[in-house]
Structure 1
């Protein structure tokens, strides 16, 4: 770490950038830790805790989730950075608590099979013989590669969108509870060329993420 005067001002700044700020007591405690221990505490992530106590058929579910999430952020404690990154990565809080600080390929895979994403971008309607390209296109255009690189060269083709959509066919989810996604092999399109290069939707998605990070 760069050598700085580790005082209340810098400790408060760290808690603000890596979380949602801190009380006078929090700042004093982090000053006593020293700079290195303070940073290590923030990046050491423990168990994520319980899920939101809400059912899909609960008419007050949205309000309960908002209250539950706000309390998690306020009472984050040593998980300040985890909750800050969770908020940064938007609404899919459970997915990003688990993988938001990990490798991009892990995040991409978790997002791909997230029940809400399977519903929102038609992943659960992407079936063998009738592929739906909505998620495949968004995955490359918005989530990873982008349409063009810094030199104005296209990062992917329509053929690659089609092949990725086929690789991602077969995911099903119970929309009543938006949980427990699984791969239905009978609905998974197996393209012979992709079959040799990629044995599963997870591997192909990881390949796309790796292209973005290299």
Structure 2
């Protein structure tokens, strides 16, 4: 394998398994075999450091809620202030997670957790920061473990039970929402269960509740202990039994594997025979391994077909991938946090605020005429502190509107150009555009792009100034939106 091909494969691996690599990271990795690089990505992700913006005793316990009542009436001003403070905590959680992603040390774990955030889509109800903090940490802790452990843990998270209304699921008055989504979105996929299965599973999940302090609790007095028939089996099943049945079903392995494949390998539906064959083989391995996520991902990242040219540049970066990748690549720090929320909201992906229980649709759905323009201008906003004239689209979501800054934004950032430029110190001036493109883009520069980029350089620039202007120009190309 020639040096250029190895560099391209390394850049592609870092972009798909994480959020991209710095020039130094890619240079070091390109000197090793791909298998060793993949093993290092897993090793770097072994340690999990929890996100923490709120302590458990800060949560809205019943005692705290009583503080909102005066003379037997709800104090609306105090309630409004509590909502504002809670919204700020969720915003801080969002930003802290972005920081962890951008740090790059555990990039694979954070990328997997981002995937699971879209799969186990959950948004803050009542803007409860503790519940969302616990949910996020559960995703991150279990992101590379066994899918069964992750499924059980997320299903028992107060944030999820609240979001899917299982607190209202009681004996003699079952609420089917939680049971339906566990089957349709989390395990089997639509059409692989019956309405009867949902009704009976809902009965099994009665009693799965949570305390105001954020603890899962099983309340026997409201659990339906009667006999149920689920997937053709009869018994006095409870929630854990339903989860076990779902994991026994090979369709769960097939459904999860297909979603992972589409996120990490090839966007879109399974139309090509080759993709279907690969997914079938991966699903069989996944099932036989006891749903070992790390084993599945290692197989994907070390397979020759993963690096097939048809997959390269075929994935559109999500807004979070775009923002985090830019931050990691150039060591970008924002002087104020609000612009990062502005970017997420303008481009349609705010962490902890998925549009619905199905999560973000992804793929070509990330792009429309207004978002594409903002995406391509984003490097100038971030790197040159240009004033932003774009306004976030009105999504009708009062929750995300509370996060947004009114009026135009201006990004004040610090960029670590020194570290970025080091690798290019000995590159001849004429070769700089192509050398930078190898790091930043999924494809080599075309002659017309080379000319366009060079035309944006100004006469008399110092070497650092030339590297910086070329970098901003390359990041403004449509190809930078792809991995």
The equivalent residue for 2:240 is 202
> Is 1:174 matched up with 2:173?
no
1:132-174 per-position Cα deviation (integer Å, ceiling 9, x unaligned): 11111122222222332xxxxxx22222111101111112213
1:27, distance to aligned residue in structure 2 (A)? 1.2
**Alpha-carbon distance in 2 for matches of 1:184, 1:33:** 54
Change (3 A) 1:122 1:102: same
**Alpha-carbon distance in 1 for matches of 2:186, 2:205:** 15
Question: Is the CA contact 2:169–2:206 (under 8 Å) kept in the aligned structure 1?
Answer: yes
**Alpha-carbon distance in 1 for matches of 2:175, 2:206:** 8
**Alpha-carbon distance in 2 for matches of 1:86, 1:4:** 34
**Alpha-carbon distance in 2 for matches of 1:12, 1:144:** 32
1:52-131 equivalent positions in 2, closer than 5 A: 52-54=52-54, 55-56=58-59, 58-59=85-86, 60-77=88-105, 79-90=106-117, 92-131=135-174
Once the two structures are overlaid, the 10-residue window that deviates more, 27-36 or 17-26, is 27-36
**TM-score for the superposition, normalised by structure 1:** 0.81
Root mean square deviation of aligned Cα: 2.6
Gaps of 5+ in 2: 60-81, 123-134, 254-286, 288-483
**TM-score for the superposition, normalised by structure 2:** 0.39
Q: Larger Rg: 1 or 2?
A: 2
The equivalent residue for 2:38 is 39
**Alpha-carbon distance in 1 for matches of 2:171, 2:96:** 39
**Alpha-carbon distance in 1 for matches of 2:91, 2:239:** 35
The equivalent residue for 1:183 is 218
**1:182 counterpart SS class:** strand
**Alpha-carbon distance in 2 for matches of 1:156, 1:63:** 37
1:68, distance to aligned residue in structure 2 (A)? 0.4
**Alpha-carbon distance in 1 for matches of 2:220, 2:31:** 56
What count of residue pairs does the alignment treat as equivalent? 203
Change (3 A) 1:43 1:107: same
Change (3 A) 1:207 1:68: same
Gaps of 5+ in 1: 149-154
**Alpha-carbon distance in 2 for matches of 1:127, 1:142:** 22
Once the two structures are overlaid, the 10-residue window that deviates more, 196-205 or 23-32, is 196-205
1:33, distance to aligned residue in structure 2 (A)? 4.0
Question: Is the CA contact 1:11–1:31 (under 8 Å) kept in the aligned structure 2?
Answer: yes
Once the two structures are overlaid, the 10-residue window that deviates more, 202-211 or 132-141, is 202-211
